[in-house]
């Protein structure tokens, strides 16, 4: 399978005001990734790990400090600067808050047709309308909803409208930024199933961002785990869930709620909290060292590079004894 999107060494820098002076920090730090046609890359991490910023960087919505991006093996970004027009009709995005991402003053018909006026201006009004109706049917909306406004819909249906907007131009890649996090359980399952169905029918590639490892277990082919702006582990789904290598991945899996009282009660949790370090404080070594149960002196001295240790499997950790022997049975205490 050829790579659809390849990104190397992406960094995004933000400047914030802290204690009255300006401080710069990298929200995304040197991330590499690639997505092949038809596959789902899951990206998971806690709040503030840079996963949404990475999504926006891939869409060309935030300026890059460093990095290069190729789209279908043609250069799109070099040295952090765009060198070709962004393939917007081929790359679309779905957002977390479905209602906030829709203009409340536009009808469903206008909302879904809006991308066409930019990317398919050659279509006649009738052709546009036919395409809008076909897309609505595909995402499970009815034609009689065409003239309604977003506030008349539930969260799940608004998310369907958002998906229709993203699909109407016939994209090859959808970047989904927590598209089901705000939805109720029964509706979440509907949208997850819809996205998987659309992917099968249309051969879409998905970059699916989530804070919920369980959702990715259902959807993703490969999963990338982010911590404080860096990619700390990338693996095929089965490997990641059955043999997580990075101590942070192990911790995330150990803490994820399981809807089974017997399993949920068998785990031990430390009450003492170690807080997520501020991204503004630059420390040498591994960003995860303060929360890591296995940290050794070298972890506070040198930054572990993301290295590929087996086929399709990369991990950024110094401790081979930890990464190579872990199984899902012996996670450390959480966290």
Partner 1 sequence: MMHSTPDNARSVLNVSDLCVTFDTPDGPVAAVDGLTFDLMRGKTLGIVGESGSGKSQSVLAMLGLLPAYARVGGSVCFEGRNLLRLPQAQLAEVRGRRMAMIFQDPMTALNPYLTVARQMTEVLAHHRGMAHGEARRASLAALDRVQIPDAARRIDLYPHEFSGGMRQRVMIAMALLCGPDVLIADEPTTALDVTVQAQILALLRSLQKDDAMAMILITHDLGVVAESCDDVIVMYAGRMMERAGVYGLFDGPSHPYTRGLLGAVPRLDRAEGALHSIPGVPPDMRRVAPGCPFAPRCGQAGDRCLTHVPAFEAQPDGAARACHVATADLVRWAA
Degrees, nearest 5: CA angle 12-13-17: 150
Does position 217 interact with partner 1 (CB under 8 A)? The reply is yes
**Shortest spacing between CB 95 and partner 1, in angstroms:** 18
Neighbours of 51 (CB within 10 A): 25
What is the C-alpha to C-alpha distance for residues 282 and 210, in angstroms, rounded to an integer? 26
When the beta carbons of 93 and 251 are compared against partner 1, the nearer one is: 251
Out of 261, 281, 297, 311, the only residue in the binding site for partner 1 (CB under 8 A) is 261
How many angstroms separate the Cα of 11 from the Cα of each of 15, 60, 110, 174?
13, 12, 36, 21
Segment interacting with partner 1 (CB under 8 A) among 11-19, 61-69, 208-216, 316-324: 208-216
Does position 47 interact with partner 1 (CB under 8 A)? The reply is yes
**Shortest spacing between CB 185 and partner 1, in angstroms:** 5
What is the C-alpha to C-alpha distance for residues 161 and 91, in angstroms, rounded to an integer? 17
When the beta carbons of 106 and 187 are compared against partner 1, the nearer one is: 187
When the beta carbons of 187 and 303 are compared against partner 1, the nearer one is: 187
Binding mask 138-157 for partner 1 (x = CB under 8 A): ----------------xxxx
DSSP string, 27-38: EEEEEEEEEETT
Residues in 76-135 that interact with partner 1 by CB under 8 A: none
Out of 83, 84, 256, 283, the only residue in the binding site for partner 1 (CB under 8 A) is 256
Out of 193, 298, 312, 325, the only residue in the binding site for partner 1 (CB under 8 A) is 193
Expressed in angstroms, the distance from the first to the final Cα of the chain is: 38
Buried b or exposed e, range 176-212, using 16+ CB within 10 angstroms:
bbbbbebbeeebbebbbebbeebbeeeebbbbbbbbe
**Shortest spacing between CB 131 and partner 1, in angstroms:** 26
Residue pointed to by tokens 């070709």: 84
Provide the edge-to-edge strand list for the sheet that holds 21-36. Answer: 21-36, 3-18, 66-71, 74-78, 81-82
What is the C-alpha to C-alpha distance for residues 7 and 9, in angstroms, rounded to an integer? 7
Does position 201 interact with partner 1 (CB under 8 A)? The reply is no
Out of 1, 125, 271, 281, the only residue in the binding site for partner 1 (CB under 8 A) is 271
Segment interacting with partner 1 (CB under 8 A) among 50-58, 122-130, 167-175, 261-269: 261-269
When the beta carbons of 30 and 45 are compared against partner 1, the nearer one is: 45
Can you state the percent helix, strand and coil of the chain, rounding each to 5? 35, 25, 40
Out of 56, 110, 129, 237, the only residue in the binding site for partner 1 (CB under 8 A) is 237
Asked if 3 contacts 35 with a C-beta cutoff of 8 angstroms, the reply is yes
Residues that bind partner 1 (CB under 8 A): 46-47, 154-157, 184-190, 192-193, 196, 211-215, 217-219, 237, 241, 251-265, 269-273, 275-276, 334-335
């Amino acid at each position: 399978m050829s790579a659809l999107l390849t990104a190397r060494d992406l960094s995004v820098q933000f400047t914030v005001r802290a204690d009255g002076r300006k401080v710069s920090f990298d929200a995304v730090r040197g991330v590499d990734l690639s997505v092949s046609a038809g596959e789902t890359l899951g990206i998971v991490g806690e709040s503030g790990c840079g996963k949404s910023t990475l999504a926006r960087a891939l869409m060309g919505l935030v300026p890059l400090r460093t990095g290069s991006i190729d789209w279908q093996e043609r250069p799109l970004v070099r040295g952090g600067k765009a060198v070709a027009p962004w393939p917007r009709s081929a790359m679309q995005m779905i957002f977390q808050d479905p209602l906030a991402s829709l203009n409340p003053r536009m009808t469903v018909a206008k909302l879904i047709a809006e991308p066409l006026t930019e990317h398919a201006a050659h279509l006649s009004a009738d052709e546009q309308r036919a395409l809008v109706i076909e897309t609505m049917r595909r995402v499970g909306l009815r034609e009689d909803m065409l003239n309604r406004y977003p506030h008349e819909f539930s969260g799940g249906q608004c998310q369907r409208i958002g998906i229709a907007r993203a699909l109407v131009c016939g994209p090859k890649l959808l970047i989904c930024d927590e598209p089901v996090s705000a939805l109720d359980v029964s509706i979440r399952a509907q949208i997850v199933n819809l996205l998987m169905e659309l992917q099968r029918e249309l051969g879409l590639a998905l970059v699916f961002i989530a804070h919920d490892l369980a959702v990715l277990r259902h959807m993703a082919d490969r999963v990338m785990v982010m911590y404080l702006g860096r990619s700390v582990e990338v693996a095929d789904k089965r490997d990641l869930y059955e043999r997580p290598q990075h101590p942070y991945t192990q911790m995330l899996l150990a803490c994820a709620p399981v809807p089974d009282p017997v399993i949920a009660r068998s785990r031990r949790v430390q009450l003492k909290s170690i807080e997520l370090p501020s991204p503004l404080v630059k420390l040498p070594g591994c960003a995860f060292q303060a929360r890591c149960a296995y940290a050794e002196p070298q972890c506070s001295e040198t930054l572990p590079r993301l290295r590929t240790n087996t086929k399709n499997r990369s991990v950024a950790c110094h401790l081979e004894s930890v990464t190579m022997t872990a199984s899902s049975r012996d996670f450390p205490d959480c966290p």
